[in-house]
Structure formats: structure tokens, C-alpha cells
Structure 1
């Protein structure tokens, strides 16, 4: 088993060499699905530390972008192992970072993990208008709508999206999960979502429960 604390620190330090060596070690093993999930969790914890370093002024926007690229590379390499650990058929998810928010690191991590869990993901990208999400739900008839946002103002867009799904008569046919830094149980209830998560692995389990 790789040292998860070392991985978390390496992600925080943006140390690709340490991360790549650990991933190669995991991928060299036959039954590696569970360990691959632990590696992802450790890297997510490292991303939290990256965010704290940014908030304190130690890191800058370029460091955040690079951290996202490093984490996406980790996810891409581990995807076969993560997929091997999930034999269940997934559902269909329409995913978006809501209008007014340009952050996509968390969304992309979640997308990689639900794709590894055999879900079909229609990723609409960032800063997505409410009408575009509603139109896509009408078009593809998904099981789940995933709304992501980091900024507090994103919560208004999430609520507007859920309201629009209601007005279009689509809300009862889909589950809505929201994710991002500002979400919690009270926010989830206020927005009218079915569930929330600030952890991608936990979010995947919620979605699997809905379609299982």
C-alpha cells in the first residue's frame, strides 16, 4: 500500500514525480481498484491544501490551474483501475458548472470518477446558462443532473436551475446532486436538490445508489 499521507503532501507540493511513482506502484498490482480509490481521496485532500495555500497567498492562480492539470493526469492514469472496481451499469448524468462560475477542477474530478463507474456523462462545461441545462435534460433524458460551483453566487444559479427544471415539468424525472465548496445540507434543502457532496467519491456512491 502506498503511503497516502505522502501522496497528499505531494499533491499539495505539486510534486509530479512522487505522484507518478505512487501511481505506477498501484498500477503494477493486479487487484488495485480499492487502492486506486484511496489514492484519489488522498490527492483530493492534497487539493484542499492547495486551495488553502492559494487563500494564504503562497500559491497563485497559475498554481491552481497546474494543480488541476496534475490531478486530472492522475485520474486519467488510474481510470482503468477505477473502472475495474465497478462492474455495475451506471446511468446517464448531465453535468455542469453553473452560470457565473468558471471553476471546473471539482467537476472534472467527479466526471472522471463517475465515468470510471460506468456512467454516461454529458459535460456541458463551465458558466452554463440555466436554459442550456434544461434544454439538454429535455434532449437526452438523463437519470441525474449534477451542478457544480465554487463561488457563493453559484448557489443562486443552482436554485434557478432546479426551479427551471420544475417549471419545465422535468424535475420529477431526474435526481439533482450539487457539489462545491459552499454547499451543505441546509443549502441543499434551500436549493431543492436531492443530495449534495463535497467529495467526488462520496458523490459517485450517491449516484450509484440512485440508479442501482
Structure 2
């Protein structure tokens, strides 16, 4: 059972500052079901039990600020070092978290199929398992992926990560601290390439407009 406990706030950090090098176009702004990809992720977070959301963007992407300016989002921060890898986005997001936040969940802006149930499962696992340092999603075939939760005692270690490994190296280093949250589904795919995007729209259907930018 989920408990809204303001003494133990859990926030989400949406990483939306990637360079989209494999896509060749700003993927966060691609249309999907009358909205942009990143808009879907933001709305999912806002509908979940998360106490707040930080969105990390690349200021060089035209239109991205407008795309993430969704009612309910109060923390949009810019990553000027996106070219140095995912770790830089995590650092910018961590630095934007209010002091009262006890744990945060890393979410990817290019996962429009992320559902609020997956986020809630992560938070619920954190609560019922006595607030462990790391909670990671585990999907069918024992595949592990996002969302991933890190408690504040891991923030220092995340701030030391370099390059594009994100939180993976911290999970590996502190593997004994990890609690797994089983997801009754296949792993949530990223949209990294044109082929990924085509698979997404064929599976779900899409209206080809400019999205909510």
C-alpha cells in the first residue's frame, strides 16, 4: 500500500537532454499520439505517486523548453554538458532536488511507454522494503532497466560518475544494496533510432502533427 509521506519525499528526475545522435533529429520532440515523446513521460510522472519532478533538458534543442513546460512541472533545469554523457544530466538533476527529498527515481525522456504503475511499483517497493539505498526494476527474462530509485545516501556516489554509464556503475558497485521491483511486463524500450520510432508508431499508432510543443 502506497503512503504519501512528506517526511520521506520521493521525486523523479526525467533525463531529456540527450543529443539524439543516433536518431539524427531531436527525439524528445517527435510526435506520438498527438503529443511529444517527452510530454508522455512527464504526464506519466505527474499522474504517479512521485512528490515532485525535475526535468533535465539540453538548451541547444529548439522547442524543448516549450515541450516540457507542462502544468505541474516547476523544476526544468538545463544541462550544458550533454555531450559528456548521461552522468552529467543526473548530476544536474540531483543538484536541483530540494533538500527534503529522501530518494529520487531516474526516468528516461525517450520512454513514452513508461506507465505510472511501474513508477508506483518502484516507490511502493521502496516503502515496504524499509527504504533501501537502491530499487531497480526487473522485467520478464530477468531484464533490468528503468525506472531506478536511488536513496540520498547514493547521491554522492552518483555525483562521482563520469561519461554515459548513468547509474549503472553505482548499481554494480553497491549490488548488495539493491532491492528489485518485479514488473509484470517486458522491459520498457528506449526510442534511440528511427527504427525504434517506427516500431513504436506501428505498435501504438500516431498522429503526425507537431505534438504539444
TM-score by length of structure 2 reads 0.30
Higher CA-based Rg: 1
TM-score by length of structure 1 reads 0.30
Please state which structure has a larger fraction of its residues in helix: 1
